[in-house]
Structure 1
């Protein structure tokens, strides 16, 4: 008999199950992925079988999510036992890979994997193998089950609901493509939502900005643990990319119309800052990948239909240094060049490349697979960003994937006519200017945390103090560092406030009679860039002061402070934080003299 509402007892008639035992079990899969599960067993399950519940990630925190808050209920998969696939790696099904994928997805956000002892869609192991034999003769799975006298699917999820209720879960996000699971669970009294696209990383409703920031904050311990690995790999570990995807980071700036969250610059800047409190390389890479999704949303519909197909988040690198060469050919352009500093390219499917065609600057959208990737990122700091070089030689790019830079970077770009998001109307370089100072601030805040912890326990040689915090000089140094970080934060907050106010004003005018976007005034642009530059200067000064007061041990490669200092030093040399040209142009803008650098 096919599983349906008819075989599931109503919620009120389900006997109450209780937790029998729980034990912590480290998990390791054949591909090397590791995590830890708290495995629960139960008394009183409806079918009397030995089902298991594996609690993964921040599962306790997920149970505390307030009612009605989307995207934060525990993520749950009901996985039916499959000895052939889970244990022996059979290629007749994808149960093993699904189990592995589900564990990683759930561990990233917090939730439960229910391992249900209902082999072969509930018909048992022997019958499943008999069904395999019939499938070899041309029947499909359902036809083979029926030929053996079984229902198409005999699974009953009553025990699953009992297990979830016993653990305190009454509201879940169900990780499944099987509508019967959702139907049964709902009939049994479970409040469920189902992700709109399996594995897409977004739900039917996006989380609130506060929830997204909280999800990012929960990642910090793992990001800090992987900071050394990130630097050694010279790119982000895949486990980190999975964490970022599951948290929804890359959807932050994407318009709602293409499956994004459509959030504003305040949330964007705060997420980059929070990530930098874990690892500056991660913040830098993720910040640019988020920004580049926003850049792709500025393109015409034909490109957006391609890159955002099926709800995907298109990760792209973008670089314009130096500008390549484009030649017009039938149907498109032939491009050649050697581009440097392609941050995020190690994780990207696309590349946005600056090219020149007869004195006109263009941007070409090219699959990374069509380019030569050159291992050139060997640096003192931000080593984990993997900002390698790209090369092309007479590569054909079709017309629809080449646009004039002036058109894309303007407030009235093609994407701004497709989506109502006000952030699409701001100038292209605006968000680029936010990444470095947000990263520097977060890194300095992390350094201050480390310094404070060190002061409370460290014994200074050749002194009478029990700990460094008892030294008057250490107290003075800490307060000065604290003040510098506060200064960096206040300047940064002022810059974000100026930008957000400008975007809100533009959005208000567009909703009225105005047809053209309102760009920031020269005074606003000057104050914005100056505040960010001053924030970066204060953050770097704080880190320098902290490291100088942390003794020789802070310069060991195993100590995070030396990495933070190297990362911040590199950040301060990025054009978006290069102090002298910024204060020069800001001075001109504040004095009403006009800018001599068009991109300022």
Structure 2
């Protein structure tokens, strides 16, 4: 069977990867339920918590795994082989757990992670947001934040807010930590793919946020924000990490698409042609060859970015800007390649592919929706890298 080899395990945290790999059949069986709920089913969340998926990036002193990027990738990719939407929620929660423990004051980190089972979701840009500076912090009169992935599994939310100086002038974007009890979930996630992520919009009104629960976004991106913890992942550059982690659920779905195509191939013919067995048709061979080449190339690009991030996390220097832009470029290109590979296999699947009950149709939808995140936009990331290569300074926060 022409399928891609499993990812080799990272020896230091192989248990979590093995544990979620064993859950793949259950994730697939529960996907209809996650689609109906538009969020991960509770029994799946419980299994993933037990496996350690929600503790990936929490520091070890709080019972977390303190995992490196390779383990993060392997874990989420395996979950994505079962349900890309659920994997999307896991990788976004992992990123917010990472951001909180990496950049927020130690006493704030203690407040959140001293409670067993705590996890954090977040969305770093707001919409229709009305805020003002007040003594000791900021006051949110009202605001909305779109696509808050993983919010149903979290007790805290990281929300994009404005920051102000002593004169009350806005100084730039910040990220605020808010108890989930003060956030309203709008339960409006109704999409054609990645449904299991539960990426609902959220809102808040009449909300006070103290200064010590707000950190500036730009220094996080440029590498000047002080780090709270110095484990493997905390030293990784912010923007490459935030983009690269979005590929892991889609890589899992793409690998599942190959697996599914090869499993069903012996039962297919090609209508209105002499081929009663699609597996014997040269056009099928060409499609398999091209699709798997694209998906395998995507995986290599993703893994190369993971390797670079892990290697730089072991140094005292912040990753150079051009390398950060290269990882962003390669991440976006990997997303395009995965979509193209999955789409080729969908085209080769015949008319039965159009049934909504067809597993391949679901995978196709998941990968397409996942590629629409602005952080992995191909034109934007190509332009970013190209302008830097041409000697034109980019906005720092984008790199």
Q: TM-score, normalised by structure 2?
A: 0.89
Cα contact 2:236–2:309 (8 A) shared by 1? no
Partner residue of 2:246?
436
Q: Give distance in 2, aligned partners of 1:521 and 1:288.
A: 24
Partner residue of 1:368?
180
Aligned pair 1:359/2:170, yes or no?
yes
Partner residue of 1:94?
none
Structure with greater helix percent: 2
Aligned partner (choices 378, 392, 398) of residue 593 of structure 1: 392
Partner residue of 1:134?
none
Partner residue of 1:54?
none
Deviations 1:280-318 (A, max 9, x none): 101111000111111120211221121112433323333
Partner residue of 2:118?
313
Q: CA deviation at 1:466?
A: 4.9
Q: Secondary structure at the match of 2:365?
A: helix
- Mapping 1:551-562, distance limit 5 Å: 551-562=350-361
Q: Give distance in 2, aligned partners of 1:333 and 1:465.
A: 68
- Mapping 1:511-590, distance limit 5 Å: 518-590=317-389
Cα contact 2:234–2:313 (8 A) shared by 1? no
Shift of the 400–527 alpha-carbon distance from structure 1 to 2, 3 Å rule, reads closer
Q: Secondary structure at the match of 1:491?
A: helix
Aligned partner (choices 127, 139, 142) of residue 334 of structure 1: 139
Q: Give distance in 1, aligned partners of 2:32 and 2:124.
A: 26
Structure 1 segments unaligned to the other structure (5+ residues): 1-206, 510-517
Aligned partner (choices 205, 230, 234) of residue 424 of structure 1: 234
Deviations 1:293-350 (A, max 9, x none): 1112021122112111243332333341337343232343211311111111122211
Aligned pair 1:237/2:41, yes or no?
yes
Shift of the 410–524 alpha-carbon distance from structure 1 to 2, 3 Å rule, reads closer
Cα contact 1:474–1:549 (8 A) shared by 2? yes
Q: CA deviation at 1:435?
A: 2.4
Q: CA deviation at 1:463?
A: 5.0
Deviations 1:1-46 (A, max 9, x none): xxxxxxxxxxxxxxxxxxxxxxxxxxxxxxxxxxxxxxxxxxxxxx
Cα contact 1:323–1:354 (8 A) shared by 2? no
Cα contact 1:440–1:571 (8 A) shared by 2? yes
Q: How many residues align?
A: 381
Shift of the 402–325 alpha-carbon distance from structure 1 to 2, 3 Å rule, reads farther
Cα contact 2:184–2:203 (8 A) shared by 1? yes
- Mapping 1:125-136, distance limit 5 Å: none
Q: CA deviation at 1:375?
A: 2.6
Aligned partner (choices 290, 298, 311) of residue 480 of structure 1: 290
Q: Secondary structure at the match of 1:208?
A: helix
Q: Give distance in 2, aligned partners of 1:448 and 1:232.
A: 25
Partner residue of 2:4?
none
Q: Secondary structure at the match of 1:456?
A: helix
Aligned partner (choices 140, 151, 154) of residue 348 of structure 1: 154
Q: Secondary structure at the match of 1:598?
A: helix
Cα contact 2:221–2:398 (8 A) shared by 1? no
Shift of the 406–595 alpha-carbon distance from structure 1 to 2, 3 Å rule, reads closer
Cα contact 2:80–2:87 (8 A) shared by 1? yes
Shift of the 375–598 alpha-carbon distance from structure 1 to 2, 3 Å rule, reads same
Cα contact 1:455–1:468 (8 A) shared by 2? yes
Q: Give distance in 1, aligned partners of 2:41 and 2:117.
A: 20
Q: Secondary structure at the match of 1:311?
A: coil
Q: Give distance in 1, aligned partners of 2:292 and 2:121.
A: 37
Where relative contact order (Cα < 8 A, 6+ residues apart) is larger, the structure is: 2
Q: Secondary structure at the match of 2:131?
A: strand
Bigger Cα Rg: 1
Q: Secondary structure at the match of 2:245?
A: helix
Q: TM-score, normalised by structure 1?
A: 0.60
- Of residues 293-302 and 462-471 in structure 1, the stretch that sits farther from structure 2 once superposed is 462-471
Q: CA deviation at 1:426?
A: 3.0
Shift of the 247–485 alpha-carbon distance from structure 1 to 2, 3 Å rule, reads same
Q: Give distance in 2, aligned partners of 1:483 and 1:456.
A: 21
Q: Give distance in 2, aligned partners of 1:399 and 1:312.
A: 26
Q: Give distance in 1, aligned partners of 2:309 and 2:29.
A: 34
Deviations 1:109-154 (A, max 9, x none): xxxxxxxxxxxxxxxxxxxxxxxxxxxxxxxxxxxxxxxxxxxxxx
Aligned pair 1:283/2:87, yes or no?
yes
Partner residue of 1:389?
201
Give the superposed CA RMSD: 2.1
Structure 2 segments unaligned to the other structure (5+ residues): 1-10
Q: Give distance in 2, aligned partners of 1:258 and 1:592.
A: 44
Cα contact 2:222–2:397 (8 A) shared by 1? no
- Mapping 1:212-231, distance limit 5 Å: 212-231=16-35
Partner residue of 1:494?
304
